[in-house]
Amino acid sequence: MEMNQQFSILAVDDNPLNLRLLETTLTKEGYRVLSSKEGSLAREIAVKERPDLILLDIKMPGEDGFEVIKNLKNNPVTAAIPVIFLTGVSEINAKLFGFELGAVDYITKPFHPREVVARVRLHLKLSIATNSLISSQAEKLKQISEAQTSMLTTPESHPEARFGVYFVSLQEAGGDFYEVLSISKDIFGFFVADFSGHDIKTGYLTSSVKALLKQNSTPIYQPSESIKMINDVLVEILPEDKYLTACYARLNRRAKQMVIISAGHPPAVYVPHNGEARLIEMDGDILGIFKDVYFGRQTIDVTPGDRFYLYSDGLVESSQERTVWSKDATALLSACHRSGDLPIKAAPENIVRLLLNDDGKAEDDIVVLGIEV
């Protein structure tokens, strides 16, 4: 008889007895258990075997648990594997730091095997639910009509989001688009993206991504998790060779915090209220091609009056005169800075005018979205 899918758990603890206890307990429950007494070996096993879940001791000689999870989360192959920390009772900072680094949960030591089993089960279920959510979203999207989501979100329709936008779409169904989402009273999401190639009609894809944003941008998901979910669905629905670059900014005005995620998109501009404009540069994979992806993420503490600009490459990449990016960057930063006195609703258009030498003739689709904290 063929066995159902067996789940594998990687247990990492430098204490041989704890490791054996985890092995015995989990094997007994029907899991395939991989184990490692040290961090770097654990990472090797994780890459090779791709376990469904990892139990990770924090305090280990050599590479400790924090180091291990950092590396796991930075590697696209292992980034999505849920990690549960094993930690001492009183180490509250260690617990919080663990969550910050992407752990899904922790178990305090000395641990009780039954608690370990219960938590492993819970997080495997959550992980399965997330994956099935992804396939059901992909299924639902096939039925979405373009008209449902082709309405533009405007500063007038969302005044509480405090943004301004300049949007030109030359193609009938353009490659560039943007969306603004009200996540809660104080939290807003801003999304600017660009589909590669204009050769096939992108209209329905734009609608799909907007629908995905609405479904996945909620307070329960971290911004990087939202984008990861969207990527996983896009991998299933996008035609081959079609991909998306995007920048997602989530602003929490109450916590005074901005999180920016980059998925292969040009760097956002940050203009602090009383400071120099600068680019927020980071690496990040594009969306819709790979199942295993890594996105750049930056968290910035903001103050009211600070501004951010997200844009598509039409603003800086002239197809007729191929200018150098560093020159573009200087001009861009200066244009953003010089638009600081204008209300946020008018700033994006002004930036476009300053950069495209006033002749008003765009060569490409352009989106510029300005946000004021």
Query: Smallest distance from the beta carbon of 21 to other proteins, in angstroms?
Result: 6
Can you tell me the distance from the alpha carbon of 293 to that of 316, in angstroms, rounded to the nearest whole number? Answer: 26
| Tokens of residue 244, six digits | 């998306």
Residue 297 engages other proteins in binding (rule: CB under 8 A): no
Judged by CB under 8 A, the chain residues 116 through 145 that form the site for other proteins are 117
Residue closer to other proteins (CB basis): 111 or 191? 111
Which residue, 63 or 317, is less far from other proteins as judged by CB? 63
Q: How far apart are CA 147 and CA 359, in angstroms?
A: 33
SS (H, E, C) 28-84: HCCCEEEEECCHHHHHHHHHHHCCCEEEEECCCCCCCHHHHHHHHHHCCCCCCCCEE
Binds other proteins by CB under 8 A, chosen from 48, 70, 112, 214: 112
To which H or E segment does residue 122 belong? helix 113-141
End-to-end CA gap in the chain: 61
Q: How far apart are CA 367 and CA 355, in angstroms?
A: 13
For residue 199, with 0-12 CB atoms within 10 Å meaning exposed, 13-18 middle and 19 or more buried, which class applies? exposed
Applying CB under 8 A, which of residues 62, 63, 79, 110 lies at the interface with other proteins? 110
Residue number, 108 or 222, with CB nearest to other proteins:
108
Q: Which two tokens stand for residue 26?
A: 């989990």
User: Near other proteins by CB under 8 A, which window of 40-48, 106-114, 129-137, 240-248?
Assistant: 106-114
Instruction: Name residues contacting other proteins, limited to 24-43 (CB under 8 A).
Output: 24-25, 28
Nearer to other proteins, 117 or 279 (CB): 117
Beta carbon of residue 97, minimum distance to other proteins (angstroms, whole number): 19
β partners of residue 181 = 189
Which two structure tokens, joined as six digits, stand for 15?
């204490």
Least distance in angstroms from the C-beta of 61 to other proteins: 8
Give the whole-angstrom CA distance, residue 347 versus residue 336. Answer: 8
Cβ proximity to other proteins: between 116 and 335 the closer is: 116
On the question of a cis peptide bond just before residue 110, with omega within 30 degrees of 0, the verdict is yes
CB 22 to other proteins: min, Å: 9
Largest CA distance in the chain: 74
| Contact pattern for other proteins over residues 303 through 342, marking x by CB under 8 A | ----------------------------------------
Least distance in angstroms from the C-beta of 8 to other proteins: 20
119-149 as b/e: b if 16+ CB within 10 A: bbeebbeebeebeeebeebbeebeeeeeeeb
20 sits near other proteins (criterion: CB under 8 A):
yes
Interface residue with other proteins, options 109, 210, 228, 253 (CB under 8 A): 109
The nearest distance, CB 117 to other proteins, in angstroms, is 8
Contact (CB, 8 A) for 247 and 281: no
* Interface positions, 42-101, toward other proteins (CB under 8 A): 59
112 vs 201 by CB, closer to other proteins: 112
CB-side neighbour CA atoms (13 Å) of 32: 10
Using CB under 8 A, which of 9, 10, 12, 18 touches other proteins? 18
Of 48, 70, 114, 201, the residue at the interface with other proteins (CB under 8 A) is: 114
- Region of 23-31, 122-130, 131-139, 318-326 interacting with other proteins (CB under 8 A): 23-31
Cβ proximity of 301 and 317 under 8 Å? no
Contacts with other proteins, residue ranges (CB under 8 A) = 14-18, 20-21, 24-25, 28, 59, 109-114, 117
